[in-house]
Amino acid sequence: MRTLILSGRHGQAGPLVARALALGATAAWGLDLDDAFLARPLAAQLGQIREALPPSPSLLVGRSYGAYLLLLVLLDLPPRGDHVLLLGPVLGPSLSGPVKVLPPRSQRFLRAVDAGSFPAPARTVVVTGALDQSCPPALARRFCDGVAGAELQLLPEADHHLAPAVQERALRALLEALRGPP
Output the pLDDT for position 92.
79
Q: How far apart are CA 142 and CA 113, in angstroms?
A: 8
Please compute the mean of the pLDDT values over residues 91-114 and round it to a whole number: 72
Output the pLDDT for position 96.
55
96 C-beta neighbours (distance < 10 Å), count: 10
Output the pLDDT for position 22.
93
The CATH code of domain 2-179 reads 3.40.50.1820
How would you class 166 by CB atoms within 10 Å of its CB: exposed for 0-12, middle for 13-18, buried for 19 or more? middle
Q: Above 90 in pLDDT, residue 168?
A: yes
DSSP for 75-112? Answer: HTS-----EEEEES---S-EEETTEEE--TTHHHHHHH
Taking phi over 0 as left and psi of -120 to 50 as alpha, with beta for the rest, 5 belongs to beta
Selected residue with higher pLDDT from 16 and 182: 16
Please, which pLDDT band fits residue 35 given cuts at 50, 70 and 90?
Answer: very high
Q: Above 90 in pLDDT, residue 102?
A: no
Domain-wise residue ranges, the chain: 2-179
Interval 119-134: pLDDT, tens: 989 999 999 999 998 8
Selected residue with higher pLDDT from 66 and 110: 66
Please, which pLDDT band fits residue 174 given cuts at 50, 70 and 90?
Answer: very high
Task: Note the pTM of the prediction, 2 decimals.
Answer: 0.93
Output the pLDDT for position 134.
86
Interval 44-54: pLDDT, tens: 999 999 999 99
